């Protein structure tokens, strides 16, 4: 179970890093917001779900 939490945290860190770099670049690029809006919203939703799932899985570790 500990390995599962560590894997979830690793995925969360990688996704967070990608979002921290990708969102400002997308917003700063002219015309990119309209093309990438759905991808950014989907990624943010996956990130929020991953935070909740990681918390739930972590609550089962004694």
**Cα separation of 25 and 12, whole Å?**
20
Encoded tokens for 27:
């917003």
- Can you give the length of the chain in residues? 62
pTM of the model: 0.86
Q: Using pLDDT thresholds of 50, 70 and 90, give the confidence band for residue 62.
A: confident
Residue-wise pLDDT for 35-47, tens only, equals 999 999 999 999 9
The residue written with tokens 């809006």 in the block is 37
> Would you state the pLDDT for residue 33?
86
> Would you state the pLDDT for residue 51?
97
Residue-wise pLDDT for 10-60, tens only, equals 999 999 999 999 999 999 999 888 899 999 999 999 999 999 999 999 999
The residue written with tokens 């990130």 in the block is 47
CA 8 to chain centre: 11
Contact 19, 47 (CB under 8 A): yes
């Amino acid at each position: 179970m500990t390995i599962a939490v560590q894997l979830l945290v690793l995925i969360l860190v990688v996704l967070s890093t990608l979002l921290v770099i990708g969102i400002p670049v997308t917003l700063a690029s002219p015309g990119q917001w309209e093309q990438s809006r759905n991808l950014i919203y989907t990624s943010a939703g996956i990130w929020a779900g991953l935070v909740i799932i990681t918390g739930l899985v972590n609550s089962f570790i004694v």
